[in-house]
Amino acid sequence: MSSAAAKPKHQPGRHFLQIPGPSNVPDRVLRAIDRPTMDHRGPDFGRLGREVLDRLKPVFGTEGPVIIFPGSGTGAWEAALVNTLSPGDRVLMFETGHFATLWQEMARKLGIVTEFVPGDWRSGVDAAAIEARLAEDSTHSIKAVAVVHNETSTGVTSDIGAVRRAIDAAGHPALLFVDTVSSLASIEYRHDEWGVDVTVTGSQKGLMLPPGLGFNAVSEKARSVAKTARLPRAYWDWEAMLGINPTGYFPYTPATNLLYGLNEALILLVEEEGLPAVFARHQRHGEATRRAVRTWGLEVLCRNPAEYSPVLTAVMTPDGHDADALRATILERSNMSLGNGLGRLKGRVFRIGHLGDFNDLMLVGTLAGVEMGLATAGVPYTKGGVQAAMDYLGGNR
């Protein structure tokens, strides 16, 4: 057999999936998905649908409706835009990283005029800049402000409460859209309290599911605006969903088996571990990871400690050392996947995911894989990062 046709080498043990999503799926959720598909028009499905839609509300921090689409976070982005805006409407957006950039590009393709405030990919949204820009907009030409809560490409979290206060201080009627694809169910989030009009997320990160579901939580203001919005929509139409969702059903075929898994994941998050404990766990793991990085003598991409992400840590490699080569070494030697640098960060950073179904021992194993990889790849570092993380974890339960 030629080398080109040779089978991949078997690596014993479980693969460490430490990218910042898709995250590890709990075995209980996998078992829930692995059930016979039920009739999505039958009575059992209606009960399941009502349970799932009700259990989602505390995760979003809302008393209002949450819409579930068979799709991805990208589809949920589009749903937020097409249900509320018309061709030529202006939206204020912020370049916090790769995913903020992609959302802005989607808006432009849909015929929306975007004001894209440039950023350094190391900082979150500047609430003062929002207030100043909206205060200038006396004609209220800006119809929405769209921000990413946790920028998956950078490990930077923006203060959504501060964004809401800025909009209110300017006395501006703009809608507030928030991407929570990598933050929901991992970082505390308050859709209602923060006056968010559309919250966007996906299934494959904090909700601990495979990819395949996209979500919108919507305010009454957003639903009212949707009545006169003129961007075309069919599959993504909210009202088609909201008209039938109170019965637990969907207007077209739902991702039935993923809904089994979602219900089980919500039981784990909300009813068994409890959301405050989930959020605290992510904070602990983020801090332990950063302590390891600092001990190694490497630099965390996020500049402002107040904006550190509990979900992932993006780490800069020293000049002259390719982050992708390091990732490849770690994959080959330790059977562990780390996140790559996206967009302008390609080859410059690697991303350690510490979210979802994750505990202290898994984090220590992850950091050990990174520390061994640094040595093998010849990246200059100082030993002791794993020990620094263990010292922190051992003293902070």
Q: Which residues are annotated as a binding site for substrate?
A: 351
Tokens of 298: 């490497």
In whole angstroms, what is the distance from residue 240 CA to residue 355 CA? 33
Binding residues: 351
CA angle 160, 163, 165 (to 5 degrees): 115
| Residue that has been written with the tokens 């589809």 in this structure | 75
Tokens for 330? 């770690």
- Cβ atoms of 245 and 65 within 8 Å: the answer is yes
Long-range contacts of 356-361 (CB under 8 A, 24+ apart): 356/21, 356/23, 356/24, 356/25, 356/186, 356/205, 356/206, 356/208, 357/23, 357/24, 357/25, 357/26, 357/29, 357/208, 358/23, 358/24, 358/281, 358/285, 359/281, 360/285, 360/393
d(CA 42, CA 48): 10
Q: Which residue has the tokens 């490409």?
A: 153
On whether the CB atoms of residues 163 and 130 are closer than 8 A, the answer is: yes
363 in Cβ contact with 292 (< 8 Å): no
- Rounded distance, CA 157 to CA 270, Å? 23
Pairing type for strands 312-316 and 349-353 reads antiparallel
